[in-house]
Amino acid sequence: MGVSLNGKAVAENLRNEIRKSIEVKKANGEKVPCMANILVGNDGGSLHYVNNQNKVCADLGIEVKSIYLDEKITEEEITKVICDLNNDNNINGIILQLPLPKHLDEAKITSLISFEKDIDGLNTVSVGKLYKGEKCFIPCTPRGIIELIKSTGEKIEGKHAVVIGRSNIVGKPVAQLLLNENATVTICHSRTDNLKEICSKADILVAAIGKPGFVTEEFVKENAIVIDVGTTAVNGKLAGDVCFDRVIEKASFVTPVPGGVGAMTTTMLLKNLCEGIE
């Protein structure tokens, strides 16, 4: 039987490192990083994420400025808010909670955030730099996935990694990060032929498709590392893309849902904030 890969424990270790670095800054009289999080409207999931960010920031000693905007805000008004934050030297990082109300152009507005402050890695410039291998903020969930894989002690280099899902938020960037770690990467999706066969040859399998219990033991190579990114509500509970109880009998490591990848996201956001772009 494999090991349940505890994202909460890995995240807590990283938070302890951040906390110590903040304490050193304070002791030396240096400026503490400050994050601005912007919430448009009252989406429950986004509000929960903002509240969690604020709670973790308070625990780590990071400053945070929360900006709550009306759901009916115009594009001109939100543009001004973001530009003001871009020009505010007291703000080191900006995150805009998604999704935005339908009348706002999400791609256009996220790209208004200054590249130097785009700690969520969604700006068009950030995305381009990621694929060119240049210094940039790495999207939080993909970065958390890489940290989890490394926490197993297994090398990524030379391994065959398969990513199920080609979204701009997870699938594509995590594939690029695995490639940067010298893995051989295959991206699969809804149109892929022989999906089960391809997945069953992966040393590292990342499932990010939003289909609860889709990945069974038949998709998994013996002793593979399986990362479950899925978070779908099923009967009031979160369910992953991986059939955990069956897959853990075959894999070496499997992330649970909840308590796996999701536990890493806020921590990676704040790690981005504290590291900054030089």
Instruction: List binding-site positions for NADP(+).
Output: 165-167, 231
**Phi/psi at 3 (nearest 5 deg)?**
-110, 135
* Residue type at 69 in one-letter notation: L
**Residues in CB range of 191: below 8 A, 6 or more apart:** none
Q: Please, are residues 82 and 94 in contact by the beta-carbon 8 Å criterion?
A: yes
Q: How far is CA 101 from the centre of its chain?
A: 22
How many residues appear in the chain?
Answer: 278
Characterise 40 by phi-psi region: left (phi > 0), alpha (psi -120 to 50), beta (else): beta
Residue of 198, 152, 206, 218 whose CA lies nearest to 179:
206
